[in-house]
Structure 1
Amino acid sequence: MNTSIPGTGERTLVLASGRAHPELAEAVAKELGIGLLPVSAYDFANSETYVRFGESVRGTDIFLLQSHTAPVNQWLMEHLLMVDAAKRASARSVTVVAPFYAYARQDKKSRGREPISARLVADMLRTAGADRIMSVDLHTPQIQGFFDGPVDHLWAMPVLTDYVRSRVDLSNVAVVSPDAGRIRVAEQWADKLGGCPLAFVHKTRDVTRPNQAVANRVVGDVEGRECVLVDDLIDTGGTIAEAVNVIMSAGAKSVVVAATHGVLSDPAAQRLSECGASEVVVTDTLPIATEKRFDGLTVLSIAPLIARAIREVFDDGSVTSLFDGNS
């Protein structure tokens, strides 16, 4: 299979992948109808990383796909090295495709003497030679402004809502946000599901204790309804599990959990399998190991969306058009 797509004039599209999530890269390449560019990547004895492209990328528009999964620092560094290698190999343009963007939750200073790590990641990618960034459901929209160049912010909502719509009774559904900060996204979900009622879980969080929050009560009417609890990511699963419990205690008929990124750090699989949700739906922006899968977990492919966005960028089309103007 060809490893590139010829464009107008001298332009050529090439897709290359790091080692973090090769299955997703292969699926995106298949959607584009090309093979992945051969990449040699390995670690030295002292843990330093080496990368080299197996074919010339001179004059190409290269898209470098790497999802920043655990161990995040290793795969982020590999991504940076791939960008640097492409730039030094005279690629025409370098687009970073990071379905899950590293350090996105560290997007502001909550206390003094803290870094803004999401900004630092953007700066490093730019310094390495990235011309453009493409990512899916950034934790906060402001991250788009951290990078000095175009940022294509893709939404997984169409993928998730199309599936969830077939799993619930639309005449008796309510959308629930896990906290007040995600209300805007929950409103968009409610609109996609036919203008259904909206609720949110009131919770408190201690900024000095990571991955811990306390769900207190549901604000809104969920009694007797099939609820869809929506979030951008699930990490250790504690917040979601507590939210499901609070929603069910408020009289909900059932709860479907829907999130874009299945980080699923331990003990998320156990918490989610035991929390009482009828189904947990995520996309494959991150690899989910066999031992982290459980009954009731559904993983949807994000590859068609990423492939369409890559093609739009390469053809100088509109990525925004993929989301009906909601991008």
Structure 2
Amino acid sequence: MTRKLGIIALESAQNAGNKIDSILSEWRGGEHFLIPAQCPRFGTGEAKGIVKESVRDRDLYILVDVCNSSITYKMDGQLNRMSPDDHFQDLKRVIAACNGKAGRITVIMPFLYESRQHRRVLRESLDCAVMLRELENMGVHEIITFDAHDPRMQSAIPLSGFENVSPALQFTQSLLTEYEDLKIDSEHMMFISPDEGAMDRVVFMASIFGVNIGMFYKRRDYSTIVNGMNPIIAHDFCGESVEGKDCIVIDDMISSGGSMIDVAQQLKARGAKRVLVFATFGLFTNGFEKFDKAYEEGLFDRLFTTNLIHQKPELKEKEWYCSVDVNRYVAAIIDRMNKGESMTELIRPAKRIKEMLDLYKSSGENK
């Protein structure tokens, strides 16, 4: 049964919200669903949430990009860039402004806030779990995220909806569109995990493609702590020879990028033909200089990330970069949930990827 739909896109996700609304409008006969909302700030930097239309009894979807650092606000007359903490507070303000009137609230948070602080070592906070409990206590019915750093975090809210969506289909589409000469078999292709945490993603993709996997594990200095973490000493490789093969490295995010470039360098040193990188979220917290240099040195051939979070304008101009558009996918998720239909094929799109690969292989054989 289709419920009356409403979409609120916070300022951090305004561009994506407009595109998703246009897609849904195209599918649903021209009707638009965006509800205007904002979080104006006082001179102290404090804020309030305002929803400018009624949300009573609506099936409400709130979009937020906690990684959008391009947005600024004034505090004591000085410009501050919005941090993930600021974006999360604004999300709670908008939920609070709905005053419990919405029929159901779903938060679409592609990059799960504090997902990297997901486990406790010694005396540490469990920020991701606390965040999820806060949203649950505020009446959020379901949380939609993409490629969560550790999907086991959903255990913090076992009685609430939590969907961890894989963008594997969109990465496959982009890869097959970008390259027409791929040989998809174990003699010519491998999927590579840059660390132990990415193994589930790699095993899923490799199983569908029908190729083998390799894995790097991070050797750390556990006697030292730098910036709250044990520094990485080296990346050691486990797996068969990569010589002459296209190696596809998969991870959930690129932060500074140092580990990914080290992995690419080692693969090239082992004789890999091409190194292609899939990362759901491209943060590039230290800029692009090291990636430009690594590309010039031939360490990798193409880097794919989604547009689920804010993309820095200069990134889109890079010769080595390929943007993976996921807006139609998010629109399909909203459409299907609003109609009360199954989400299984969207969350784990193994069947559609397999069909795409079969078509790609048959078209190559017919050339």
Tell me the TM-score normalized by structure 2. 0.80
Tell me which residue corresponds to 1:22: 14
CA distance in 1, matches of 2:233, 2:275: 19
Gaps of 5+ in 1: 1-6
Indicate how the Cα distance of structure 1 residues 324 and 138 shifts in structure 2: closer, same or farther if over 3 A, else same: closer
Which residues in structure 2 correspond to 1:4-153 (within 5 Å)? 8=2, 11-33=3-25, 34-69=32-67, 70=69, 71-86=83-98, 88=99, 90-109=101-120, 111-147=121-157, 148-153=159-164
* Offset at residue 23 of structure 1 (A): 1.4
Code of the residue aligned with 2:300 in structure 1: it is A
Contact (CA 8 Å) 1:201, 1:215: kept in 2 or not?
no
Contact (CA 8 Å) 1:174, 1:222: kept in 2 or not?
yes
- Structure 2 counterpart SS, 1:258: strand
CA distance in 2, matches of 1:253, 1:325: 28
CA distance in 1, matches of 2:217, 2:284: 23
- Structure 1 counterpart SS, 2:337: helix
Which residues in structure 2 correspond to 1:191-202 (within 5 Å)? 191-193=207-209, 195-202=210-217
Which has the higher Rg, Structure 1 or Structure 2?
A: 2
Tell me which residue corresponds to 1:184: 200
CA distance in 1, matches of 2:226, 2:18: 38
Contact (CA 8 Å) 2:164, 2:347: kept in 1 or not?
no
Contact (CA 8 Å) 2:5, 2:33: kept in 1 or not?
no
Contact (CA 8 Å) 1:176, 1:227: kept in 2 or not?
yes
Contact (CA 8 Å) 1:161, 1:189: kept in 2 or not?
no
Code of the residue aligned with 1:236 in structure 2: it is S
CA distance in 2, matches of 1:272, 1:217: 21
Return the match for 1:309 from 333, 357, 362: 333
CA distance in 2, matches of 1:196, 1:287: 33
Q: Could you list the per-position Cα deviations for residues 206-256 of structure 1 after superposition, in whole angstroms to 9, with x for gaps in the alignment? A: 573357534433222211111111101111111111111111111111101
CA distance in 2, matches of 1:181, 1:51: 37
Task: Out of 250-259 and 38-47, give the one that drifted further.
Answer: 38-47
- Structure 1 counterpart SS, 2:11: coil
Code of the residue aligned with 2:212 in structure 1: it is P
Which residues in structure 2 correspond to 1:283-302 (within 5 Å)? 283-293=306-316, 294-302=318-326
Code of the residue aligned with 2:339 in structure 1: it is D
Task: Out of 35-44 and 45-54, give the one that drifted further.
Answer: 35-44
Q: Could you list the per-position Cα deviations for residues 128-150 of structure 1 after superposition, in whole angstroms to 9, with x for gaps in the alignment? A: 22111111111112012222411
Code of the residue aligned with 1:44 in structure 2: it is F
CA distance in 2, matches of 1:181, 1:63: 30
- Structure 1 counterpart SS, 2:5: strand
Contact (CA 8 Å) 2:305, 2:322: kept in 1 or not?
yes
Task: Out of 144-153 and 214-223, give the one that drifted further.
Answer: 214-223
CA distance in 2, matches of 1:175, 1:40: 43
Code of the residue aligned with 1:197 in structure 2: it is N
* Offset at residue 261 of structure 1 (A): 1.0
Code of the residue aligned with 2:226 in structure 1: it is R
- Structure 2 counterpart SS, 1:43: coil
* Offset at residue 32 of structure 1 (A): 1.3
CA distance in 2, matches of 1:144, 1:323: 15
CA distance in 2, matches of 1:40, 1:184: 38
CA distance in 1, matches of 2:220, 2:304: 25
Matched length: 314
Tell me the TM-score normalized by structure 1. 0.90
Contact (CA 8 Å) 2:306, 2:324: kept in 1 or not?
yes
CA distance in 1, matches of 2:122, 2:249: 33
Contact (CA 8 Å) 2:166, 2:348: kept in 1 or not?
no
CA distance in 1, matches of 2:9, 2:147: 20
CA RMSD in angstroms comes to 1.9
Identity of aligned residues (%): 21
Q: Could you list the per-position Cα deviations for residues 118-164 of structure 1 after superposition, in whole angstroms to 9, with x for gaps in the alignment? A: 10110111222211111111111201222241112111111112222
- Structure 2 counterpart SS, 1:176: strand
Contact (CA 8 Å) 2:49, 2:96: kept in 1 or not?
no
Code of the residue aligned with 2:7 in structure 1: it is L
Contact (CA 8 Å) 1:215, 1:246: kept in 2 or not?
no
Contact (CA 8 Å) 2:37, 2:50: kept in 1 or not?
yes
Return the match for 1:318 from 332, 342, 346: 342
Return the match for 1:160 from 162, 171, 176: 171
Q: Is the aligned partner of 1:249 residue 2:264?
A: no
- Structure 1 counterpart SS, 2:45: coil
CA distance in 1, matches of 2:349, 2:14: 31
